[in-house]
Amino acid sequence: HSNREMWFQDLFPPNTCPINAKTKTFYGIMFDAGSTGTRIHIYTFVQKSPEILPELEGEIFESVKPGLSAYADQPEKGAESVKRLLDMAIDAVPPHLWKKTPVVLKATAGLRLLSEEKAQALLSEVKEVFEESPFLVPEDSVSIMDGSYEGILAWITVNFLTGQLSGQNQHTVGTLDLGGASTQITFLPRFEETLKESPTDFLTSFEMFNSTYKLYTHSYLGFGLKAARLATLGALNTEDRQMFRSSCLPKQLEAEWHFGGVKYRYGGNKEGETGFKPCYLEVLKVVKGKLHQPDEIRGSSFYAFSYYYDRAADTNLIDYEQGGVLEVRDFERKAKEVCDNMERFSSASPFLCMDLTYITALLKEGFGFRDNTLLQLTKKVNNIETSWTLGATFHLLQSLGITY
């Protein structure tokens, strides 16, 4: 819509070009209501002309625990946790831009797993908090996000931040996100076979920055790290409140754990086996045959974040600040080390062995990656969080006509 302003562009040297004086600065506020926490991302963008992608100037990021789903029976308290984060945006965005700055919350797997009624109560309390704020509240500003968008938008984020969405010669990278309750895999298929052999609902066309991307993506609900703990313990979908035991936990352990508003009792195999081998067999039951395995990913490398990153950092496989490159087999090696020496790691989370073993099984037996598949573990690129929230903000600004 700004093409009319372009005629004079060639007449002026770039630094005196009037269009530069028209550089747009804008903000976007995106909430990630995840299963384990709620986070606010306040983005600042500048865009110098319609031909180039908006530049991301910075991000303000803050988070609170627990997630909204933990307030299933107290929706007002859940909304209060959102309000406290939103107050940060009042300070971060200049007052004259409040009315033009959209605020949106998207909930993921935690709310997907609640009853419709409880989820809606939470969402409408949050909507009220938004309506009372000075920001722009678009239609559908508070919702549960479809799982396929979660993967696509994270893919957009990572590929935007690594510069793969601008210019020619785009070498996009696939992404792996491991949340608390669900996990996503997304990549741009290069092989005709992948397009032919994938279930149709795993393939989605998505338009962004004037390009159309046909992506392979799927969100596996119940395969996030914390949901997988419950599945391994056999505690999913059961009303039974017994003690759940596993060979992946320290022998003498007996404890309680809260997830999604439910209390679970769990412990080690007092008399029976413990260690990597029996643990791997337990975890295998959770993943084996449950996931689609596209052939073409076996040899390619992926960006991995969220709990892949956290557990790799917890065990010094990568530096907590820098991230790093790993092979799938590094997770297996670390799982063996932890599971076969649980006393040595007892000061860490009692679930460390189970988590690392699950990650190993998910990658190898779930998705079908090779032992030597490379994983680029990343938390931030150029100081911006690798989260679907950036992709979602681009999508939002585009739909509101705020970006070109």
Joined together, the tokens standing for residue 87 give 């107050």
379 binds ligand GDP (CB under 6 A): yes
Q: Which of 26, 27, 30, 39 binds ligand GDP (CB under 6 A)?
A: 39
310 binds ligand GDP (CB under 6 A): yes
Joined together, the tokens standing for residue 105 give 């919350």
> How far separated are the first and last CA of the chain, in Å rounded?
7
54 binds Ca ion (CB under 5 A): no
Catalytic residue among 80, 117, 132, 150: 150
Residue nearest to Ca ion (CB): 179
Q: Which of 179, 260, 323, 391 binds ligand GDP (CB under 6 A)?
A: 179
User: Residue 56's CB: how many other CB atoms inside 10 A?
Assistant: 18
Question: What's 366's DSSP letter?
Answer: I
CB of 181 to ligand GDP, least distance (A): 4
CB of 64 to ligand GDP, least distance (A): 11
* Residue pointed to by tokens 């979908």: 237
179 binds Ca ion (CB under 5 A): yes
Q: Which of 34, 222, 267, 294 binds Ca ion (CB under 5 A)?
A: 34
The residue (of 184 and 194) whose beta carbon lies closer to Ca ion is 184
Nearest to 311 by CA among 262, 357, 361: 357
CB of 306 to Ca ion, least distance (A): 6
The residue (of 93 and 109) whose beta carbon lies closer to ligand GDP is 109
Q: Hey, which bits of 65-130 come out as E strands?
A: 103-107
330 binds ligand GDP (CB under 6 A): no
The residue (of 172 and 389) whose beta carbon lies closer to ligand GDP is 389
Q: Which of 47, 81, 101, 108 binds ligand GDP (CB under 6 A)?
A: 108
Q: Which amino acid is at 148?
A: S
Using CB under 6 A as the binding rule, the residues of this chain from 61 to 80 that contact ligand GDP are: 67
The residue (of 177 and 314) whose beta carbon lies closer to Ca ion is 177
d(CA 344, CA 162): 38
Q: Which residues pair with 119 in a beta bridge?
A: none
* Residue pointed to by tokens 């029996």: 278
Give the CB-side neighbour count of residue 271, counting CA atoms within 13 A: 0
Distance of CA 188 to CAs 163, 166, 215, 325, 380, Å? 15, 15, 5, 21, 21
Is 282 a catalytic site residue? no
101 binds ligand GDP (CB under 6 A): no
* Residue 268 assigned to a binding site: no
* Residue 151 assigned to a binding site: no
Of 31-39, 76-84, 241-249, 354-362, the segment contacting ligand GDP by CB under 6 A is 31-39
Cis peptide before 189 (omega within 30 of 0): no
Question: 116-120 long-range contacts, Cβ below 8 Å, gap at least 24?
Answer: 118/72, 118/73, 118/75, 119/144
Nearest to 179 by CA among 320, 13, 278, 35: 35
CB of 130 to Ca ion, least distance (A): 21
* Residue 181 assigned to a binding site: yes
Q: Are 182 and 119 in contact (CB under 8 A)?
A: no
Q: Are 155 and 184 in contact (CB under 8 A)?
A: no
The residue (of 35 and 172) whose beta carbon lies closer to ligand GDP is 35
The residue (of 223 and 266) whose beta carbon lies closer to ligand GDP is 223
Number of residues that bind ligand GDP (CB under 6 A): 23
Binding residues for ATP: 180-184
| Residue ranges binding ligand GDP (CB under 6 A) | 32, 34-37, 39, 67, 108-110, 179-182, 224, 305-307, 310, 379, 385-387
**What amino acid positions are annotated as catalytic residues?**
150
